[in-house]
Amino acid sequence: MNASDRLIVALDVAGPDEARDLISRIGNRAGVWKIGLELLFTGGAELARELAGDGQKVFVDAKLLDIPNTVERATANIAALGAAFLTVHGHDIKTMEAAMRGRAGSDLKLLAVTVLTSLDAADLEQQGSRMDPAELVLHRATLRRESGFDGVIASGHEAAEIRQATGSDFLIVTPGIRPAGSAAGDQARVMTPAKAIAAGADYLVVGRPITQADDPAAAAAAIAAEIDTALSA
């Protein structure tokens, strides 16, 4: 994989036309297009099928969490779109095993959402967890061993520990990426592209620093260059 292949652009835009426009501007400076909850309900599923049919890598960020029967059937439908990646909340093994059954026979890779990068220790306490984000991420990352998931979504702050606990065949996909000097927005556990790669992330998820840049192609190219430098360091 080259540096651009590791860059996932979060297409958090109003509709498929805006998404297609961004994709054509960014081109091969990024390797994966992430369709999340905002776009999924304004034509994103059809766009996912179209992009996958064109040979593009599509990440459906549906963050599934429901009873096993529903998760299994939703996962099978997302696999049938031709998606390359799907997120499932990694809170419990029943949900994850259901997703594994749903993707059977497809190439869909399953990623467990550990702890959202917008949450900090105070938010987890409010949810009733006595663990801090790093402990809870690590705890949930180890559920993967039982379920057979391909990897996790985790912030750069936890990537090194996860890598140590899980080994090299495990995908770490890191959102909350902010190039030096850019606004954190609603993200709490942010990191620069270079630091996240150095910490062990395989893929970086970047939304607003690219999609809201005056020149999204230049922003994507700059992040890919930073990934490249970090990989060769």
Q: Name the residues annotated as catalytic.
A: 63
β pairing state of 57-64 and 7-10: unpaired
| 67 vs 184 by CB, closer to ligand C5P | 184
Q: CB of residue 141 vs ligand C5P: minimum separation in angstroms?
A: 13
| 12 vs 72 by CB, closer to ligand C5P | 12
- β-bridge mates for residue 203, sequence order: 173
Torsion of CA 187, 192, 198, 204, to 10 degrees: 60
For ligand C5P, the binding residues (CB under 6 A) are 10, 12, 36, 61, 113, 116-117, 153, 175-176, 185, 187, 205-209
Q: CB of residue 112 vs ligand C5P: minimum separation in angstroms?
A: 10
Cβ-closest position to ligand C5P: 207
Q: Are 166 and 207 in contact (CB under 8 A)?
A: no
Q: CB of residue 190 vs ligand C5P: minimum separation in angstroms?
A: 8
Q: CB of residue 181 vs ligand C5P: minimum separation in angstroms?
A: 15
The Cβ-side half-sphere exposure at 154, using a 13 Å CA radius, reads: 31
| Residue of 175, 170, 71, 159 lying closest to 119 (CA atoms) | 175
**Helix, strand, coil % over all residues of the chain, rounded to 5:** 50, 15, 35
| 66 vs 69 by CB, closer to ligand C5P | 66
Q: Are 227 and 3 in contact (CB under 8 A)?
A: yes
Q: Are 230 and 197 in contact (CB under 8 A)?
A: yes
Residue 121 structure tokens: 């220790």
d(CA 211, CA 223): 13
| 163 vs 178 by CB, closer to ligand C5P | 178
| 44 vs 82 by CB, closer to ligand C5P | 44
Q: CB of residue 105 vs ligand C5P: minimum separation in angstroms?
A: 26
